[in-house]
């Protein structure tokens, strides 16, 4: 997790760079050109991966305070709040040259798992491209809460998911938690 102001600035720079490449600027604008952040960063666990001395991947886990998460702008999570402690995973960006399950993605996902577990959350909520749901579903415990042909200013198919880590699959245990035995 972030421990210095310089790490935070490097994370905001990486977010801005990746969101610019993806044309996500209209939905997630930079308050200061080249720095992508918002007020949710103040009550988030911000995770990052460093490779070769620089940050190459990051995401944040936003703890649900005052029943307000970024997703609430486009979709109400009240049906989940009534009986669950939730957080939102957002601003997942990875600077990589290859596709597939790279090391940054594995480490960030593992970090989300442990934050969810340590904070006794019932589910982590996220917005992902519909095409990515098949992969996430292999983790076990993923549910599709809603599907959209657009999301805010973004013109693409997205889904809102919830992840119950108590239902993780053997695939997730082996690949992400590096457990050698299958656990029932």
Q: How many structural domains does the chain have?
A: 1
Q: Helix (H, G, I), strand (E, B), or coil: what is residue 75? A: coil
Q: To which H or E segment does residue 58 belong? A: strand 54-63
180 belongs to a structural domain = no
Q: Per-residue confidence at 184, pLDDT binned at 50, 70, 90? A: very low
Could you read off the pLDDT of 66-120 as tens digits, one per residue?
778 999 988 999 888 888 899 999 999 999 765 556 889 999 999 999 999 999 9
152 belongs to a structural domain = yes
Tokens of 25: 């600027």
CATH number at residue 93: 3.40.630.30
Question: Residues 151-161: what's their mean pLDDT?
Answer: 83
CA 152 to chain centre: 17
Instruction: Tell me the residue range of the domain where 96 lies.
Output: 5-175
Instruction: Give CA separation, 10 vs 7, 13, 117, 121, 184, in Å.
Output: 5, 5, 27, 28, 41
183 belongs to a structural domain = no
The Cα–Cα gap between 95 and 167 comes to 30
For the chain, give the mean pLDDT: 90
Under a CB-based contact definition with an 8 Å cutoff, are residues 122 and 164 in contact?
yes
10 belongs to a structural domain = yes
């Amino acid at each position: 997790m972030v421990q210095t102001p310089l790490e935070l600035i490097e994370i905001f720079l990486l977010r801005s760079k990746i969101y610019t490449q993806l044309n996500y600027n209209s939905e997630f604008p930079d308050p200061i050109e080249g720095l992508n952040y918002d007020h949710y960063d103040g009550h988030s666990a911000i995770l990052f991966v460093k490779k070769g001395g620089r940050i190459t991947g990051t995401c944040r886990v936003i703890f649900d305070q005052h029943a307000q998460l970024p997703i609430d702008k486009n979709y109400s999570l009240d049906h989940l709040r009534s009986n669950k402690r939730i957080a939102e995973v957002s601003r997942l960006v990875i600077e990589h040259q290859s596709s597939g399950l790279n090391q940054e993605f594995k480490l960030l996902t593992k970090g989300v798992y442990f934050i969810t577990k340590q904070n006794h959350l019932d589910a982590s909520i996220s917005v992902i491209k519909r095409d990515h749901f098949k992969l996430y579903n292999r983790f076990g415990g993923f549910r599709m809460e809603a599907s959209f042909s657009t999301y805010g200013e973004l013109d693409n198919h997205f889904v809102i998911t919830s992840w119950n880590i108590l239902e993780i699959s053997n695939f997730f245990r082996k690949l992400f938690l590096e457990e050698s035995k299958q656990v029932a």
